Every structure is written in structure tokens, then in C-alpha cells.
Amino acid sequence: MKAKFLVPLFLFLGLAGFLAFGLTLNPREVPSPLIDKPAPAFTLARVDDPAQQFSLADMRGKVWLLNVWASWCVACRQEHPVLVDLARRNLVPVVGLNYKEVRGDGQLDARGMALDAETGLAVERARRWLGEHGNPYVLSVLDIDGRVGIDFGVYGVPETFLIDGNGKIRYKHIGPITPENLQQVILPKVEEVRRAG
Amino acid sequence: MPADRISLHPRGLRALARAGALAAMLWLSPAHAVDAPPAGEVAPTVAADPRLEADVQELAHKLRCLVCQNQSIAESNAPLALDLRNQVREQLAAGRSKQDVVDYLVARYGDFVLYEPPVKGITLLLWGGPAALLLAGIGWLAYRVRRRAVESAAVTALSEAEHARAQALLAGGAPGDAPPSSANRESRS
């Protein structure tokens, strides 16, 4: 019991250890409750041809990525070359979810805009952006009002979901994908999901 | 996470800056200032029924905005908060219960959307921790108080000899070594 005076020191060190660990966590990365749950079903108009619809069920049997993007999203520009490179290497199909293309843009006043007009503008803007930066997507769909985004628990752009052949979400990446993220986390996850079935 | 992942609320930031300036000028509380609808925003809709709107507001104050994490979706001006408020309003108007709406959001965004974390296995320490610390503190205090009582009881019990010496001292005698006299003390000062 001679070392009793050291007890507060060890209590302090324990607390400091916890706090130091806390500093390494990112409070902006909120874990998704949708992991290993069926992806929310949706049917949305395609950017390449708004008359055509794309449904979640269309990708059944494939392991694929759903990437949330928008032309007004700055971080998407940072991420985009990584996706273009991924598409060139033909490793995993990526579907784009164009999120609130018009009404999400802070520079634009979309109040009172008719849905048809908004859709037309969204298509035009999305195509122009893909033309400028390259199109890594198998196809992109328009989430005009962000409702599908809410179903997926999207709270920022970009976000990327890994969906397996049964339509289950297996992984969510929050924020722009870096080449390191892709090589060290996402592609190994894709392999793992593919092996699992 | 790079700092530029603020894409969802460029307006929110601008509105906040504007609100901040306004608050500084008018000495308004910021909570009131950010209520002003930001420019370029889809006009905030309000339910026609005041009781429904009161329910919407009550619920919105309990839900966390995921973009501005220290604000509720009632306070936040981020577009996502606006979307979620509209969702809450729409679903309550459609006759769903408050619990339904909360479940709907928790299913998508997780327990993080709740300002009050639910009591379950993983939050047991969070909820029970303070009470456990309090009980531990009380227990420790009781132990120390009891031990001190025992110790001081042992100290106060004087032996026969000590008792006699104390009596002698009190009577003014100087058995053995004498205490310093008052004269000695005065001469030193």
C-alpha cells in the first residue's frame, strides 16, 4: 500500500488514454444502421434518358457501388478521378445517384420551379458535368428531391454504398474516396462480398 | 475527413454568418436569428393545422441534424434539416404516430439522430455511469468516515499516565520539561 499516492496518477493516465483515443475518432462519420440490411428500393429516372427508369432490382446478382454525387458538390470533384480510374480498370460497376442536382445547389434559387423544368435542368447540368469530368458510371439516376437520399441515410455528398448481389448494403464510405481508400478498403471489401456469394 | 465536405450546407453556413452578423447588431439570440429563411431555399412549409405544426416542432427539437451535429433539425438551416422537417411534417400529417416517425429516421440515420440516446446494452454505461459513480463515491465516503471515527476513538483514549500528566499540566504544574513561559515568548518578539 506504499504506492497508494500513485492511484490518482493512474486514474489520470486512464482518462487521458480514453480521451486520446477519442481524438482519433471522427464524429462526422456516423455509422449507418443500414449495413447488412436490404438497400431501400427505389425507381428513378436515368440521367442519360430521363424517359427510362432504373430500379434497385435491376442490379440483382451483381456486386456494385452506388455513388452519391452532384455537380455542385466540391468534394465530388476531388473524388471523381478515382472513380474514372476505377471504371477504366473495370473492377466493379458504379451507379451514380445524382442527389438534388438543382435544389441542392446553393447558388441557385429553385423555389417555385416546376418539377418538369427542374428535371430538365438537372439532366442538363448533370450531363454537362459528366462531359467535363468524365463519366465513370454505368448509369446515373436523378434523385431530384433527395428522398431516396434520405432512405439511404445520406447526410452529405459524396457517399458511396457497396451493395451485394442480394441487394444488401454491405459497406458505406462517407466522404470522397481517395486512391488509398479504394485500394485498401473498398476493393478488398468488394472481393470479400463477391467471395461470400 | 477533409473540411470541404460541407457540400450539403453552403447556404446553412452563409445563413449562419448572416445570422451571426444580425445577432451581433441587434443583440438577438442566435436561435432566433437563424430561424429566418435563407435566400435560395425552398420556402419552409408550415402545416396549416397549428396543433400538427406544434407536434412537428416538438419532434424536430428532439432530432439531431446530421450536418450541423450540435443543432436539432428544428434549429438547423442545413438543407438536409429542412428535408427532414418536411418528412416529419408529411408523415405526421398522414396520420403516423410520433414513434413511427422517430423509427423511420432511426432506421435510416441510426440512434445518432436522437438527442436522447435510448437505454440499451451499449448505452448502459452512459445512463448508469453517473449513478454508479455517485454510489461508489457515497460508499467510499462512508468507509472513510467510519474508519476515521474508529481511528480518532483510538487516539482520544488516554492511558492512566497520560491522563495524570494532562491533569498536572492543566493545574499549572511543570512535571518533567516545562513549557516555554510567556515571558520567554515576549522577549523573542
User: What crossing angle do the helices spanning B98-109 and B79-93 adopt, rounded to 10°?
Assistant: 140
Q: What percent of chain A has pLDDT over 90?
A: 86
- Chain centroid offset of residue A3 CA: 53
* Nearest chain A residue to B1, by CA: A175
Q: Hey, what's the cell of B14? A: 452563409
Q: Answer yes or no: are the C-beta atoms of A27 and B69 closer than 8 Å.
A: yes
Say if residue A50's pLDDT is above 70: yes
Neighbouring C-beta atoms of residue B111, cutoff 10 Å: 16
Three-state SS at A97: strand
- Indicate the number of domains in chain B: 2
Residues B42 and B62 in one domain: yes
pLDDT digits (tens, 9 = 90+) for A1-24: 578 889 999 999 999 999 999 999
Kindly state the average pLDDT of the residues B126-133.
94
The alpha-carbon gap from A3 to the nearest alpha carbon of chain B, in Å, equals 19
Residues B134 and B114 in one domain: no
Helix, strand, coil shares of chain B, percent, nearest 5, are 60, 0, 35
Point out the residue among B6, B7, B110 whose CB comes nearest to the CB of A31: B110
What's residue A57's pLDDT? 92
Structural domain boundaries, residue B56: 10-118
Say if residue A96's pLDDT is above 50: yes
What's residue B14's pLDDT? 56
Residue B26, in any domain of the structure: yes
B7/A26 touch (CB, cutoff 8 Å), yes or no: no
Residues B90 and B139 in one domain: no
What's residue B174's pLDDT? 60
Point out the residue among A31, A72, A145 whose CB comes nearest to the CB of B7: A72
Spatial CA neighbour of B81 closest among B170, B8, B168: B8
What's residue B175's pLDDT? 53
ipTM metric:
0.82
Measured between alpha carbons, how far is B102 from B95 in angstroms, rounded to an integer? 14
CB contact, 8 Å: A195 with chain B? no
CB contact, 8 Å: A100 with chain B? yes
* Nearest chain B residue to A148, by CA: B108
* Nearest chain A residue to B85, by CA: A150
Kindly state the average pLDDT of the residues B58-84.
90
Q: What's the pLDDT band for A87 if we cut at 50, 70, 90?
A: very high
What's residue A132's pLDDT? 95
CB contact, 8 Å: A138 with chain B? no
B69/A155 touch (CB, cutoff 8 Å), yes or no: no
Of A16-30, B111-125, B171-185, least confident by mean pLDDT is: B171-185
CB contact, 8 Å: A110 with chain B? yes
The alpha-carbon gap from A26 to the nearest alpha carbon of chain B, in Å, equals 8
Count helices and strands (H / E) in chain B: 8, 0
Residues B14 and B103 in one domain: yes
DSSP B36-92: SPPTTSPPPP--SSHHHHHHHHHHHTTBB-SSSTTSBTTT--SHHHHHHHHHHHHHH
B67/A104 touch (CB, cutoff 8 Å), yes or no: no
Spatial CA neighbour of A186 closest among A96, A99, A83, A78: A83
Kindly state the average pLDDT of the residues B56-61.
92
What's residue B176's pLDDT? 54
Residues B65 and B124 in one domain: no
Neighbouring C-beta atoms of residue B86, cutoff 10 Å: 17
Asked which of B118, B140, B170 is the last residue of a domain, the reply is B118
Q: Which residue has the higher pLDDT, A163 or A26?
A: A163
Say if residue A97's pLDDT is above 90: yes
Residues B138 and B56 in one domain: no
Measured between alpha carbons, how far is A4 from A175 in angstroms, rounded to an integer? 48
What's residue B173's pLDDT? 66
CATH of segment(s) A35-196: 3.40.30.10
Mean pLDDT of chain B: 76
What's residue A168's pLDDT? 95
Q: What is the CA radius of gyration of chain B?
A: 34
Q: Hey, what's the cell of A98? A: 445524382
Say if residue B187's pLDDT is above 60: no
Residues B98 and B15 in one domain: yes
Residues B93 and B52 in one domain: yes
Q: What is the DSSP letter of B146?
A: H
Residue B59, in any domain of the structure: yes
Mean pLDDT of chain A: 93
What's residue B186's pLDDT? 46
The CATH number of the domain holding residue B30 is: 1.10.8.640
What's residue B4's pLDDT? 45
Q: What's the pLDDT band for B136 if we cut at 50, 70, 90?
A: very high
As to burial, measured by CB atoms within 10 angstroms (0-12 exposed, 13-18 middle, 19+ buried), residue A67 is buried
Helix (H), strand (E) at residue A53: strand A53-55
Residues B61 and B88 in one domain: yes
